[in-house]
Amino acid sequence: MKTASELNFGERAIISDVDNTHPSFRRILEIGFTPGQEIELVNSSAFKDPLAFSLRGTLIAIRKHEADCIILL
Protein backbone atom coordinates (compact mmCIF):
# COMPACT_ATOMS: atom_id res chain seq x y z
CA MET A 1 0.00 0.00 0.00
CA LYS A 2 1.69 3.15 -1.22
CA THR A 3 1.05 6.52 0.40
CA ALA A 4 1.59 10.05 -0.87
CA SER A 5 4.70 10.43 1.30
CA GLU A 6 6.43 7.75 -0.79
CA LEU A 7 6.07 9.52 -4.13
CA ASN A 8 9.19 10.63 -5.99
CA PHE A 9 9.53 14.18 -7.22
CA GLY A 10 7.56 14.64 -10.42
CA GLU A 11 5.70 11.37 -9.93
CA ARG A 12 1.92 11.43 -10.38
CA ALA A 13 -0.60 9.11 -8.81
CA ILE A 14 -4.32 8.78 -8.19
CA ILE A 15 -5.63 8.86 -4.64
CA SER A 16 -7.54 5.69 -3.74
CA ASP A 17 -8.47 6.45 -0.13
CA VAL A 18 -7.75 8.60 2.92
CA ASP A 19 -7.11 6.88 6.23
CA ASN A 20 -9.88 8.06 8.54
CA THR A 21 -8.04 7.04 11.70
CA HIS A 22 -5.52 9.80 11.13
CA PRO A 23 -6.11 12.92 13.31
CA SER A 24 -5.87 15.28 10.32
CA PHE A 25 -7.90 13.19 7.86
CA ARG A 26 -10.89 15.53 7.78
CA ARG A 27 -8.83 18.60 6.96
CA ILE A 28 -6.90 16.60 4.35
CA LEU A 29 -10.19 15.70 2.67
CA GLU A 30 -11.61 19.19 3.00
CA ILE A 31 -8.62 20.78 1.34
CA GLY A 32 -9.22 18.53 -1.66
CA PHE A 33 -7.25 15.28 -1.29
CA THR A 34 -10.19 13.05 -2.20
CA PRO A 35 -10.23 9.58 -3.80
CA GLY A 36 -10.00 9.75 -7.59
CA GLN A 37 -7.95 12.94 -7.67
CA GLU A 38 -4.57 12.94 -9.37
CA ILE A 39 -1.72 14.39 -7.33
CA GLU A 40 1.91 15.10 -8.13
CA LEU A 41 4.78 15.63 -5.71
CA VAL A 42 6.33 18.84 -7.01
CA ASN A 43 8.51 20.09 -4.20
CA SER A 44 9.56 19.86 -0.59
CA SER A 45 11.43 21.99 1.90
CA ALA A 46 15.20 21.60 2.15
CA PHE A 47 14.59 19.28 5.11
CA LYS A 48 12.45 16.98 2.87
CA ASP A 49 9.43 17.74 5.02
CA PRO A 50 6.78 19.25 4.50
CA LEU A 51 5.96 18.10 0.96
CA ALA A 52 4.25 20.24 -1.68
CA PHE A 53 1.70 18.47 -3.88
CA SER A 54 -0.09 19.82 -6.89
CA LEU A 55 -3.77 19.05 -6.59
CA ARG A 56 -6.87 20.47 -8.25
CA GLY A 57 -4.83 23.20 -9.92
CA THR A 58 -3.05 24.49 -6.85
CA LEU A 59 -0.15 23.65 -4.54
CA ILE A 60 -0.74 22.31 -1.05
CA ALA A 61 2.05 21.81 1.48
CA ILE A 62 1.50 19.11 4.10
CA ARG A 63 3.82 17.32 6.49
CA LYS A 64 5.10 13.84 5.61
CA HIS A 65 3.21 12.55 8.59
CA GLU A 66 0.00 13.87 7.03
CA ALA A 67 0.87 12.65 3.55
CA ASP A 68 1.01 9.19 5.12
CA CYS A 69 -2.74 9.06 5.45
CA ILE A 70 -3.26 9.61 1.71
CA ILE A 71 -3.37 6.13 0.17
CA LEU A 72 -2.59 5.83 -3.54
CA LEU A 73 -3.86 3.45 -6.19
Partner 1 sequence: MNTASLEKLNLITLVGPPNSGKTTLFNKLSGKNYKTVNYPGSTVEYSTCKIQSKFGIEADVLDSPGIISLNPNSPDEEVSVNSLYNHPEFGSPHLVIATADASQISRHLLLAKQLIESDFNVIVAITMNDILAKRGYEVDENKLAEELGCGVIKVDGRTGTGIDKLISCVKPKLNPDEKDELKNPHKVFENIDKEKLLDLYREIERIEKIVIVPVKNITEPNLKKANEKLKILNPTLKYGSNRPDERTLNIDKLLLSRRWGLIFFFLIMAFTFTSIFWIADPFMKLVDELFGYLSTNASSILGQTWYGDLISDGIISGTGAVLVFLPQILILFLILGLLEDTGYLARGAMLIDKPLSKIGLNGKSFVPMLSGFACAIPAMLAARTISNRRERLLTIFIIPLMSCSARLPVYALLIAFLTPADKLWLGGIALALIYISSILGSLIVAAFINKFNKRIINASDTSSFILELPAYRAPKIKNVIRNSFENAKQYIYRAGPIILVLSMVIWFLTYFPNHSPEINTNGLSHEEIVQMVKAERLSTSYAADLGKFIQPVMSPLGMDWRIGVSLIAAFAAREVFVSSLAMIFKVTDSSDLQSSILLAMKNAVNEDTGKPLFTVSTIIGLIVFFIFAMQCLSTLAVSKKETGGWRIPMLQLVIFTSTAYILTLVTVNVLKFIGFS
Q: Which residues bind partner 1 (CB under 8 A)?
A: 12, 18, 20, 23-32, 34-40, 42-50, 52, 54-63, 66
When the beta carbons of 6 and 31 are compared against partner 1, the nearer one is 31
- 1 vs 58, beta carbon nearer partner 1: 58
Q: How far is the CB of 1 from partner 1 (least distance, A)?
A: 18
CA distances from 73 to 8, 18, 40, 48, 67 (A): 15, 11, 13, 23, 14
**68 Cα distance to chain centroid:** 7
Q: Measured from the CB of residue 15, what is the shortest distance to partner 1 in angstroms? A: 11
